[in-house]
Every structure is written in structure tokens, then in C-alpha cells.
Amino acid sequence: MSFQLFAKTNSTVEVFQGYPSFEEISSSKSGNDGTEGKVIQSLLSPCGRFMAKSYESKVVLLIGETWEITLVELPLKNVYDLKFSPSGNFLSTWERPLVDDTEHLNCKIWNLNESPLSTEPKYSYKASTQSSWTLQFSKLDDYAIKSFGKELRIIKLSGEDTFKFDKPFATLTPDQPFTTYQISPAEHPTICTFTKEKSGKPAQLTIWPITTGKITKQIVTKQFFKADSCHLKWSDLGNAILCLTTTDFDHSNKSYYGENNLYLLSFQGVNGALGGESVRVSLGKEGPIHDFNWSPTSRQFGVIYGFMPATITFFDLKGNAIHSLNEQRKNTLEFSPNGKYILVGGFGNLQGSVDILDRHDKFRCISKFSATNTSVCKWSPGGEFILTATTSPRLRVDNGLKIWHYSGTLVFVKEYKELLKVDWRTNCPFRIIKDGYVTNGNKLKDEELKQDPKIRKHQLEIHPVVTQFNLKNPNKSSTNLGAKKTTGAYKPPHARKATVVPGTTKTRAPQSTPTPPLQQSAASQTSPEEKKIRSLLKKLRAIESLKVKQTEGVKLENTQVTKIQSEPKILKELELLGWKGELDS
């Protein structure tokens, strides 16, 4: 069984089996049939253990293979927002504030690892708005952060006294009041704060370590102008962060949304023990930044930027451009969870065209398809399938979900009158005990975890509903558009291989469409990454020659023996760079 699918409408919460059956395995109805009432909010935990659903008079927490077990019912009214901590150990709830009770603590936190689980919250506090109301937790749920005016307080979540913010483990009070902060997803977390430009003082971006007491050390910092707000995005390893800054107004009057800049801060070693760097990412084209995302390896990131058609460029950890694609009408970039594939799509007010690139094959486009009116796009946790959906209130027509194989083949589709939310259910790395409680540490072996089936395009099982959908909607038939044939780097006429025309003895150069000068220069340009691969391959060829001499009995010098011993290290570097071929001739 592959990963499950979760879909919420205004009256039901449905759970489907994944590829190939897509069988509906659970559906909790609400409304006028005498059941629990309308589901206000629903959410899956990042670890895949829990589903939380809020009703007008309670919050229900479910577990089990098909969410068949009710773990607890929390007596809460009008909960309009839910949030799980990264490891799924804590659930936070936000209730609509009471007009007649200004002292109402409308935010509550529940420890989900208690047995039995208490209906009393572990911590309560007040947040009048639904924006940024939740506490920030570290990746392992061992730290929590809360803002108290100009001060950040960090607590350690261990033992019974878990939420004692009056006795914090650490405090952070920057010289200038910060407007945004975010904890890193590292096992040894750090904190990034952003202070906006004000009264002639530049904006500032700083990474701080979490140390006992008052934090004063700065791992790395960057000051700059033209920044009224920002969006922070950590790499998966938590060793680098991207900051997209925006001004309230574009003084050049070229953009309604203000001016954008992208900054990169990175460091090496635990808490920056080996130093840090900060750079402004050089994009080289005017216009907005549409999207940016980290590779799961945390060694590269991609950016879509500029006025349409936009430019798509990939950068290394130092902010150097390693590869650029031709200008396209795209605004969405998503790496697959294993980092092998990259989805580049044009959604929103664009036509919905999608390209799938192979990162391990020099960003070659391997498939294309069209997913019009897409408002949600997510890779499956195993990196084999893609979920696209049209949801309300973004669009109130043509609501539904589609599942695509990365080869561009549509394998499942389901239409809804009103679809509000969709998501994948990740695999839970814990065993579920029969009495309904979940162990905390009895991890499954890797082979026991469910993974997406690794299948080729010709082996795909297409669900019958896809054929029905295409027949009913001939104008919306979303078949694989196919990938453009790659021609490789530009070659001058004298370097091209001659082809023999059948029935003649003459030869001619292959016919091809002339390449515009701009594309020729882009194709012939070698990226720093490719140069590095060529250099390493040259070293491997030299090692092969030395090994031949060694087998022939030739006595080698110490430096030559050392060079042979470096072969595993070179092969490892090539693997990290994505090289999977044989030695060049």
C-alpha cells in the first residue's frame, strides 16, 4: 500500500488509498444526518500519526490505519485553527476570541504523548488575531519559542514543567526590535531574526545560536536597505536560510507589489563554529521573485524571477549560479522529497503547464503535462507522484484533485462540487499499539515503511475514472505533452556527425531548426558544476593510467600512490554532483 490521500469538503473528510487502487477507505460525514455537525477545520500531523478535526463544540483527535480510533475529544468551542509541532508531539488550538471575555485564553497546547491523554491543556495563552498565533517548535520538539514584546523566550520541553516561560532556558533581545523570527529545522537549532528598515537605519538579518541564559553571540548577520517585510525559508539541514525581502512600494513604479531582493545566510559547524557567510543572491533581471525553494540535500536552491516570461536559475550554497533554464511562463518550483526531480509549473493566472526536470541528468526535462486551474501542488512523500488540485475559495468551479506520475501520466482524478483541502498522509515511523496509543521510540525498520512503488511509465495502472473524465471533458483532457528532445550543447557544422541518406553515397549534416543566438550562448555555456565534474573525471582518468602501470609492475612514487588512494573521495564528490555516467573517453 502506498501513501494515503486526504480530502476535505464542506460536508465530509475523506481518506483514499494511494496508487494503484485509490480506494476510499474512510469518509466521515457531517451536517443534517444526525452526526457530529460541520467540520470547521481538519489537519494531518507531519509525522502521519494523527488527524485533528474541530467542530463547533469539540476537537476530535484520531489515529489508526484509517483514522478509525478516537484518541481523545477535547471540550473546546469554535476552534478555527489547528497546528501540530514538527514531530507531532504537541497540538495547538486557536479559538475565536470572546467579545464579552477579554481575559479568555483562546490558545491552548496539548501534549499528545501522555497516556492516557488529558483533556486539560499543558499551556494556555491569548492571541487576538489568527496571524502568527502559534508557538514555534524545534524539529525534535525539544525547544519552544514565544515572543514577549521585544524579547524572545526559549524553553526546553522536558519533564513535567514543560511550558515555564517565566523561567526560560534562554532569552534573546536584539538591539533593534525584530519583526520576524524563525527557528531552524536542525537537530541543534538556531534562530533567525529580521528587523525591517526604519528611520534611515538599514534592515538586518541575523542568525543566533541557542545557548543558556541571555543570547548575545551572532553566528552571521547581514544589513541592507529596501526591506519592509520578509519571508524566511530554512534549508532542510538548518545550515542556511533564504530571506525574500519586499518593500511596501516600488519606487521605480514597475511593480504593484513592491521591490524584491533575495539574501542568503549560511554557516558551517554546530552553532556556526566553523564560520558563516552572507550574500545577496545576484539575479540579474528586474521584476518580482515568484518562487524559491531549497533542494532536500540543502546544497542547492532554485529561484523563479523577473517579469514574464520569467527566468529560472539554480544556485549553490554560496549563491553562485550553477544552471539556468530558458525563459518560461512559470511561477512555481518544487523539488521532489528525494531531490532527484524538480517540478516547474505555471499556476494561478498562468495556463497550468508543468515541466519535470531530472536533477541527476543536468536538469533535463523528462516530461510535460498541463494542470489547469491548479491551486494546490504537492509531491508524494516518496517522490513518485504529484498531487494537483483545484480548491475553494481560490476557485469555486472545476473543483477536484488529480494524481500524476512523474512521467507526466494522469493516473487518478476525482471531481468535487466544493473541495476545500487536500494533502498526502506521510508514513508514521512508529508502531500503533492495539489499545489505541502510539509508542514513542519503537521505530520501524526502513524496509517496513511504506514507499511509493518505483514503476516505469509503460507499467503504470491508469484508474478507470481517468478515461471517463477525458471522455466527459475532451477540452480538459490532460495527457502527457511529452518532453522536448534535448540536443545537448551547440556544435559548429564541422563538428557534427555526417548522416548517410539511403540510396545515395552523399552525406549531409542533420536538418535542425536554427537556434536563436541567445539560446546558443546559453546552451554552450558550461556551468561551474559541469566544470567541476570534468575536472574530477580528468583526475579519475589519470588514476586509471597509474593503476594500469601498477598492475604492470612499474614502481610508483609516493605521490602517485596517494593519488590512487584518493579515488573513493573523487567518486563520492562526483556522486554528490549528480554524475552517474562512465569515464569520458
Question: What does DSSP assign to residue 201?
Answer: B
Give pLDDT tens digits for 115-173: 788 888 999 999 888 888 999 999 999 999 999 988 999 999 876 667 889 899 999 99
| Domain stop point among 400, 419, 452 | 452
- Give percent of the chain with pLDDT exceeding 70: 80
- Pick from 417, 452, 487: which residue ends a domain? 452
| pLDDT reading at 503 higher than 50 | no
Is 422 inside any structural domain? Answer: no
Alpha helices in 377-416 (DSSP H): none
Helix (H) or strand (E) holding 551: helix 528-551
How far, in Å, CA of 140 to CA of 250, rounded?
Answer: 40
pLDDT of residue 509: 39
Lowest mean pLDDT among 82-96, 428-442, 454-468: 428-442
Residues 440 and 559 in one domain: no
Q: For residues 249 and 224, which has the higher predicted lDDT (pLDDT)? A: 224
Lowest-confidence pick of 195-209, 229-243, 433-447, 537-551: 433-447
Residue 94 in any domain: the answer is yes
Whole-angstrom Cα distance, residue 244 to residue 230? Answer: 5
335 vs 481, which has greater pLDDT?
335
Say what the pLDDT of residue 479 is.
56
Residue whose C-alpha is closest to residue 405's, from 379, 429, 430, 424: 379
Q: How many angstroms separate the CA atoms of 83 and 295, rounded?
A: 25
Boundary-marking domain end, from 452, 467, 501: 452
pLDDT for 253-287, tens place per residue? 566 667 889 999 999 988 888 888 999 999 988 88
pLDDT, average across residues 329-342:
93
Question: Are 130 and 23 in the same domain?
Answer: yes
Same domain membership, residue 557 and residue 438: no
Q: How many Cβ atoms are within 10 Å of 563's Cβ, its own excluded?
A: 16
pTM, rounded to two decimals: 0.75
The answer to whether position 39 is within a domain reads yes
Domain assignment of residue 409, yes or no = no
The overall average pLDDT reported for the chain is: 81
Question: Could you tell me if residue 546 is inside a domain?
Answer: yes
- Is there a contact between 202 and 263 (Cβ–Cβ < 8 Å)? no
For the chain, the domain total comes to 2
Is 68 within the bounds of a domain? yes
Residue 432: what pLDDT? 43
Pairing between β-strand 51-54 and β-strand 59-63 as defined by DSSP bridges: antiparallel
Query: CB pairs under 8 A, 24+ apart, for 384-391?
Result: 384/2, 384/19, 384/452, 384/453, 384/454, 384/455, 385/2, 385/18, 385/19, 385/411, 385/452, 386/343, 386/354, 387/5, 387/422, 387/424, 388/354, 389/419, 389/422, 390/419, 391/419, 391/420, 391/421, 391/422
CB 530 within 8 A of CB 362: yes
Question: Confidence class of residue 11 from pLDDT cuts 50, 70 and 90?
Answer: confident
Contact yes or no for 335/295 (Cβ under 8 A): yes
448 and 542 in a single domain? The answer is no
pLDDT on residue 455: 66
With respect to residue 522, please indicate whether it lies within any of the assigned structural domains: no
- Retrieve residue 564's grid coordinates: 590512487
* pLDDT value of residue 535: 86
Residue 453: predicted pLDDT: 54
Q: pLDDT tens digits, residue range 44-94?
A: 999 888 999 999 899 999 988 888 889 999 999 989 999 999 999 999 999
Which of 36-40, 461-465, 530-534 is most confident? 461-465
pLDDT class of 460 with cuts at 50, 70, 90 = confident
pLDDT at site 545: 83
Q: Report, as an integer, the average pLDDT of 284-294.
A: 91
**What CA–CA distance (Å, rounded) separates 332 from 334?**
7
Residue 241 has a pLDDT of: 95
Q: Give the pLDDT band (50/70/90) at residue 113.
A: confident
Listed range (190-204, 335-349, 440-454, 528-542) with the worst mean pLDDT: 440-454
Same domain, yes or no: 129 and 18: yes
Range of the structural domain that residue 580 is part of: 538-585
Res 430 pLDDT > 80 = no
271 within domain boundaries: no
